[in-house]
Amino acid sequence: MKKLKMSKNIKFGLGLGFIALLSGCSFRPDMPEVQTNVQMRYEFEQYNLNDKWWQEFNDEKLNELILSALANNSDLLIALNNLERARIQMNLSKIEFLPNSTLSGSSTKANANQNSSNSHSLSGSASWEIDLWGRVRNSARAGIASFKASQYDYENAKLSIITSVANTYFTLVSLQNQEQILKDSLASYEETLSYRKAEYESGNVDELVYSQAKASVDDAKSQLVSLQDSLISTRTALALLAGKDTSFILNGDLIKTTPGDEISAPTIPSGLGADILERRPDVAAALKRLKAANAQIGVSIANFFPKISLTGVLGYASPEFDRLIVNEAKNWSYGGSLVMPLLDFGRTYQNTKIAYKDQNASLLNYDKTLKTALGEVHDALKLRQNASEKLKASRNLRDSWQKVFMLTKARFKEGYSTHLEYLDAQRGLLSARLSYAKARLGIANAVVEVYKALGGGFKLEKPLDSDLD
């Protein structure tokens, strides 16, 4: 590049001013129309969803397990690693706004035909792409949107891990309660078998009655063993979710407390417009990926047009090394460059078509994610209501059998009921208690699913890329 005179400098500056006016251009198409605010109305009491909603169960062991999972769960650590990678990628896209500078130096000594020559140089150069067509800007926009999507993926992974820990913990608590009930039931059936065996040996009942009593014992044993198998697998699952080794599960200190009979449930204000985008990290992530795909179209279209860059060089050159850094050895130059695709055999065109297809795929995925979220909110709230009704019915059933058992027990002591009637009433009560324990598990899981469906306290912050829109 040649040195320019002052008159040309003025013209060059005016040219730069014109380019600067055009640099706001962008070939990024308008965002497809999407639903971002879906109004849902339910008649519930008012509530504020806590981002640490699991604490509302008032179970310290549950709180401990969830904190352990947030710190040590392998899946969550993988999601965090992906988030950090996306952050680095975003920073790289932002750096494209800045000039690219280099520093170089050389020193040579040559001897030809008895003539020697020395050459020493030191120079720095800078190059900056004028974002005339929005390529750099859209690339940065895509990078920021992708990072935000990864951030929301991480929030969704956290929510999934927390709900899995809660559901598994409540299952373990319930199974432990059910185990004791089944043990009591087995003892009752074994007592009946002993009674029937004595009757059979004395000839008061036939073999059929005795065999039926024995079959009941065998069935009770089978149910108990099956439940104990579930206990083993559930303990292991909980240990893995909490990021602990299996030795943690083997101690008897895993469960100290159990949930109360009544479990608090989240509610929604009457007439509230529930913005699913603001509540669900998976929906927010899908929308960000749609924005990233939209920005990539702008990048692809910009590749049809020339890349215009400004360059500048400042350095020193001298045949004498000790006189390298002096004014007389200074040299500088500046100018511009233009690189334009000439014949790429349709590569840019095909890449642009792919970018449009990627946007369409992201749009379809967003629509699917939003509909799934709406379905999960609807189902979770309905299941929560049904679980409450089932819990109420099972509680009434338990209380009724408790009354029957107490009356039968009193009659048995006074000689008005037989031992078998007493045992039948006892097993009826145990069966009702078992149903109630399962109903309590159902309500606990239903409450957890409501929290999960509503995003677990997630709230969409101000978009990070708002300054680029």
**Mind giving me the DSSP string for 58-71?**
--HHHHHHHHHHHH
Determine the 3-state secondary structure of 97 from DSSP.
coil
Band the pLDDT of 259: cuts 50, 70, 90.
Answer: very low
Percent of the chain with pLDDT over 90: 21
- What are the distances in angstroms from CA 386 to CA 171, 377, 380, 436, 439? 19, 14, 10, 14, 10
29 φ, ψ (degrees, to nearest 5): -70, 165
Domain boundaries, the chain: 6-107+119-468
For residue 402, pLDDT beyond 90: yes
For residue 61, pLDDT beyond 50: yes
Amino acid found at 15: G
Q: What is the length of the chain?
A: 469
Q: What is the pLDDT of residue 398?
A: 94
Band the pLDDT of 190: cuts 50, 70, 90.
Answer: very high
Determine the 3-state secondary structure of 223 from DSSP.
helix
Residues 6+ away with beta carbon under 8 Å from 346: none
Kindly state the average pLDDT of the residues 117-131: 69
Q: What is the pLDDT of residue 33?
A: 67
CB atoms under 10 Å from CB of 321, counted, come to: 12
Band the pLDDT of 51: cuts 50, 70, 90.
Answer: confident
Please answer whether residues 106 and 281 qualify as being in contact, where contact means their C-beta atoms are separated by less than 8 angstroms. Answer: no
Kindly state the average pLDDT of the residues 273-298: 83
Half-sphere exposure of 247 (CA within 13 A, CB side): 0
Q: Which pLDDT tens digit goes with each residue over 331-367?
A: 766 666 767 777 778 888 888 899 999 899 999 999 9
Question: Torsion angle, CA of 408/412/418/421, rounded to 10 degrees?
Answer: 20
For residue 5, pLDDT beyond 60: no
Percent of the chain with pLDDT over 70: 69
Q: What is the mean pLDDT of the chain?
A: 77
For residue 194, pLDDT beyond 70: yes
Instruction: Specify the higher pLDDT residue, 298 or 318.
Output: 298
Q: Could you give the CA distance from residue 66 to residue 243 in angstroms, rounded to a whole number?
A: 10
Please answer whether residues 288 and 282 qualify as being in contact, where contact means their C-beta atoms are separated by less than 8 angstroms. Answer: no
- What are the distances in angstroms from CA 92 to CA 107, 137, 151, 469? 34, 12, 17, 19
Q: Could you give the CA distance from residue 261 to residue 259 in angstroms, rounded to a whole number?
A: 7
Q: What is the pLDDT of residue 42?
A: 40
3-state DSSP: the chain helix, strand, coil percent, rounded to 5?
A: 65, 10, 25
Range of lowest pLDDT (67-81, 240-254, 267-281): 267-281
- Residue bearing tokens 């990678």: 85
Q: Could you give the CA distance from residue 41 to residue 43 in angstroms, rounded to a whole number?
A: 7
Kindly state the average pLDDT of the residues 61-79: 86
Band the pLDDT of 240: cuts 50, 70, 90.
Answer: confident
Q: Which pLDDT tens digit goes with each residue over 18-36?
A: 444 444 566 677 677 666 5
Kindly state the average pLDDT of the residues 399-407: 94
Please answer whether residues 25 and 133 qualify as being in contact, where contact means their C-beta atoms are separated by less than 8 angstroms. Answer: yes
The closest of 405, 432, 429, 400 to 417, measured between CA atoms, is 405
For residue 261, pLDDT beyond 70: no
CATH placement of domain 6-107+119-468? 1.20.1600.10
